[in-house]
Amino acid sequence: MALAPVTLLTDFGTADGYVGEVKGVLCTQAPGVPLVDIAHDIPPQDIEAARLAVARYWRRFPPGTVHLVIVDPGVGTERAALAVASEGRFLVGPDNGVLSPSLFALDARVVRLAEPPAAAPTFHGRDLFAPVAAQLAVGAMRGLSPAVLLDTVGEPYAEAVRRRTPPPTRRGDGALVGEVLTFDRFGNAITTLVPARPLVGAAAVEMMGQRFPLVRTYGDVAPGAPLALVGSSGLVELAVRNGSAALRFGMARGQGVVLVAAGVAAS
Amino acid sequence: MALAPVTLLTDFGTADGYVGEVKGVLCTQAPGVPLVDIAHDIPPQDIEAARLAVARYWRRFPPGTVHLVIVDPGVGTERAALAVASEGRFLVGPDNGVLSPSLFALDARVVRLAEPPAAAPTFHGRDLFAPVAAQLAVGAMRGLSPAVLLDTVGEPYAEAVRRRTPPPTRRGDGALVGEVLTFDRFGNAITTLVPARPLVGAAAVEMMGQRFPLVRTYGDVAPGAPLALVGSSGLVELAVRNGSAALRFGMARGQGVVLVAAGVAAS
Amino acid sequence: MALAPVTLLTDFGTADGYVGEVKGVLCTQAPGVPLVDIAHDIPPQDIEAARLAVARYWRRFPPGTVHLVIVDPGVGTERAALAVASEGRFLVGPDNGVLSPSLFALDARVVRLAEPPAAAPTFHGRDLFAPVAAQLAVGAMRGLSPAVLLDTVGEPYAEAVRRRTPPPTRRGDGALVGEVLTFDRFGNAITTLVPARPLVGAAAVEMMGQRFPLVRTYGDVAPGAPLALVGSSGLVELAVRNGSAALRFGMARGQGVVLVAAGVAAS
């Protein structure tokens, strides 16, 4: 049977040797286990960006995969270090919310990791999280059950930080009210709005007086025109065809957005 | 026998979870096949940069390799989705020219992929291209012939977009006329000029009144001096030793360049 | 037994096809050997940044690993091309100091590589270093002894460039005097200071009149406050909690720093 990989998500960037140190530990302690880079350019210390990234990919990998998530502004403080078993996958990282997407599954189990006495207080990624990820990967390779395996690396822990995307609310007139959650590389704004799909073609998003008609895909509007669409994770995104909505409209995280039926003014 | 890899070239960047979603699909649907990152920082929607990158690497990988190329500004529109078998390798991506380098081989075969009904209209990389790449990788692992295997994923397609680097032209005085094609990270300008190698030491490139003597390598001129050389893909490049030609001379794509014999003025 | 990987550190960036060409050569000439990316965004031609990165990771990988290091401003000049066997690992790259961390081991052996006649003078990474790395990886896979294997790829070479981090000096009053070596992505300044650990809580670093108390980790000071700590490689780092020390204090490489006992003025 093919080996499940260890994946890596960090905010270390790719201009020095830190990612290399973590990978060296993994290659040494879990020989033969494939390493898969998710991304290393999470904005420094951006827990929310890491959480949203994890939400996208953690469940798409096969059972037995170990997801290592190192975005850890609180390294060396009292924040707990965690390992999670959830739907057959493992996640390892700091207790600051980055692992949240895996914590809402019915079978999710969480343990708190002990800090090895020799761990550098500024680099738990190398000295604590990577060794535990390696241990889980080796155990999964041997076919141990996730729950049993998890209990070998730490003590059950009930207080894990759970962060959630704030759900949209409904106004008196039925319009859906949400906010800008984050941006992707293309300058698309991902919002907290989750519409019923039948609304495509019959609704629009309004933000600071600007109207974004809800369409199926970018090609449904003229180049340079604003649009809204249901993105690949089910959330409404605001975009400009062949352009950057973030730059064009000077958007920021947290800005309010309203989903209204076509022809209805938002305010 | 060692497994041929699936390679990934995208313009997704490495600051979120999109690359992770694609890799999760590949790890799940083609277990055990190695993933090899080519690059994820192709400038957003830059088809030409993707085509030039593919030209560099597609043939250097072993037969059986599947090259996944996701630079896809037309996602969700009528543009076709393609798989190609060429010289024993496979390529999968949108029909916008990014796969062109593989289409000029004598044995190149192209099929059009059907869009799965449930595919997100904005993320064919995850929902269409990655599953087909996985299917091809698994088939290649089983030793199926490329042509037979290709026909299992789509219908033969004759109208694939073919983009080519514009060939240089020759002036009345014998000088070669071309243009700036693109830039690399060091600020070197890659041009469309393809000189006979014996010209090294006896020719120069002129651009907007600036002269770049054609030498063998960077070390042949003083630090800070401009130079031209035949790059590693056979095209003439304009450079500044230990500096950026693009910044120093304010170059842009499409700017005209002329290759003249030494001592001859270009204009 | 699991195969040791080939790792890659370059300054090529990840926006074009150069890294892909190198990986294609490796996949073709060392089939089945895992590739592990260390980083490709070393600042262009920054030998010192590459050397410091190599120092971090080269020894953390298992014996048999081949580290390919391509930061090579002198490509095509008379600078030698090297392969090193050191503590069971191999390193391949230009003779400009980037491989230095491996050269100080007692068992380090160095050979000079011959340039293949057909090698592109601007791309030894693809045409010289990658083929040699592949040859070493294949030999290591077959269990050849490092010393024997190394001698199959080149001639013994005694003049390899050895770069070292300049050691701190001690002032008359006992204070340790060093300099800023480099910066990480978080804006932390890594210095050349190596203190005795017991100093934590009883010392501070001074730089241009600014005082950085030596603490155990970031959380020991208030958000926004400056601090110094012993980093994960044993060197003192200057930081700002949840901020960038480099930007806040306009730091530059080579700036002088002084480690003084708490309560003692540095100048």
Query: In Å, how far is C152's CA from the nearest CA of chain A?
Result: 26
- pLDDT for res B174: 86
Q: Which helix (H) or strand (E) holds B35?
A: strand B35-39
Give the gap in angstroms from C-alpha A24 to the nearest C-alpha of chain C: 4
Q: Is 60 exceeded by the pLDDT of residue C124?
A: yes
Chain C 210-239, residues with CB within 8 Å of chain A CB atoms: 216-220, 229, 231-232, 237
- Closest CB to B120: pick one of A14, A184, A232: A232
Task: Tell me how close the Cα of C121 comes to any Cα of chain A, in angstroms.
Answer: 25
pLDDT at A197: 61
CB-CB under 8 Å, A13 with C185? yes
Task: State the pLDDT at residue C247.
Answer: 94
The reply to whether residue B56 touches residue C17, judged by beta carbons under 8 angstroms, is yes
For the stretch A201-243, pLDDT in tens is 789 999 999 999 999 989 899 999 999 999 998 899 999 999 9
Dist. CA B252–CA B241, nearest whole Å: 19
The two structure tokens encoding residue B71: 């630079």
Please give the pLDDT value at position C168: 94
A41 vs B197: which has the higher pLDDT: A41
Q: What is the mean pLDDT of chain B?
A: 93
pLDDT > 90: percent of chain A: 86
Residue-wise pLDDT for B45-85, tens only, equals 999 999 999 999 999 999 999 999 999 999 988 899 999 99
Residue B209 has pLDDT above 80, yes or no: yes
Distance from CA of C148 to the nearest CA of A (A): 24
Cα–Cα distance for residue pair B54/C20, rounded to 1 Å: 9
Q: Which residues of A touch C62 (CB under 8 A)?
A: 27-28, 31
pLDDT value at B23 more than 50: yes
Instruction: Decide if pLDDT at A114 tops 50.
Output: yes
CA distance A28 to chain B (A): 19
ipTM of the complex: 0.94
The DSSP element (H or E) to which B82 belongs, if any, is strand B81-86
Convert the pLDDT of each residue in B214-231 to its tens digit.
999 898 999 999 999 999
pLDDT band for C266, please (50, 70, 90 cuts). very low
Q: Are the beta carbons of A76 and C216 separated by less than 8 Å?
A: yes
For residue C110, count CB atoms less than 10 angstroms from its CB and return exposed for 0-12, middle for 13-18, buried for 19 or more: buried
Residue range B228-251, pLDDT digits in tens: 999 998 899 999 999 999 999 999
pLDDT the model gives residue A266: 44
Partners of C61 on chain A (C-beta within 8 Å) are 23-24, 27-28
Whether residue C55 is predicted with pLDDT greater than 50 in this model: the reply is yes
Question: Hey, is the C-beta of A43 within 8 angstroms of any chain C C-beta?
Answer: no
Compare CB distances from A62 to B31, B37, B44 and report the shortest one's residue: B31
Which pLDDT value is given to residue B261?
82
B179, amino acid identity: E
Distances (CA, A) of B114 to A215, B93, B96: 22, 12, 16
Q: In the structure, what pLDDT confidence band is assigned to residue A51 with cuts at 50, 70 and 90?
A: very high
Indicate whether B30 pLDDT > 60. Answer: yes
Are the Cβ atoms of B56 and C18 closer than 8 angstroms? yes
Residue keyed to tokens 């270090």: A81
Which residue(s) pair with C203 in the sheet?
A: C261
Q: Is C29 on the interface with B (CB under 8 A)?
A: no
Q: To the nearest whole angstrom, how far is the Cα of A118 from the nearest Cα of chain B?
A: 31
Three-state SS sequence of A59-72: CCCCCCCEEEEECC
For residue C17, give the nearest of B36, B52, B216 by CB distance.
B52
Answer whether residue B198 shows pLDDT above 90: no
Angle, helix B18-29 to helix A47-57, in steps of 10 degrees: 30
pLDDT tens for each residue of A128-160? 999 999 999 999 999 999 999 999 999 999 999
| Interchain CB contact of A48 with C (< 8 Å) | no
CB atoms within 10 A of CB C117: 5
pLDDT at B266 over 50: no
Please report, as a single letter, which amino acid is at residue B61. Answer: F
Look at residues A41, A45, A46, A53 and name the one whose alpha carbon lies nearest to residue A14.
Answer: A41
**Across residues C44-54, what is the average pLDDT?**
95
Inform me whether the pLDDT recorded for C267 exceeds 70. no
Name the range with the highest mean pLDDT among A249-263, B187-201, C45-59.
Answer: C45-59
In this complex, do B42 and C15 lie within 8 Å of one another by their Cβ atoms?
A: yes
Share of chain B above pLDDT 90, in %: 86
Mutate to test the interface with B, among A9, A33, A185, A236 (most CBs of B within 10 A): A185
Residue C220, classed as helix, strand or coil, is: helix
Q: What integer is the mean pLDDT of C181-194?
A: 94
Instruction: Name which of B102, B232, B233 to mutate to probe chain C: the one with the most chain C Cβ atoms within 10 A of its Cβ.
Output: B232
Distance, CA of C124 to chain centre: 20
* pLDDT tens column, C67-92: 999 999 999 888 999 999 999 999 99
pLDDT of residue B267: 45
CB pairs under 8 A between A and C: 113
% pLDDT > 70, chain A: 96
> How many Å apart are CA A26 and CA C76, to the nearest integer?
36
Q: Which residues of chain B lie closer than 8 angstroms to A36, CB-CB?
A: 23, 27, 35
Residue A81 has pLDDT above 70, yes or no: yes
Closest by Cβ to B23, choosing from A36, A219, A242: A36
Subunits in contact with chain A (3 or more CB pairs closer than 8 Å):
B, C
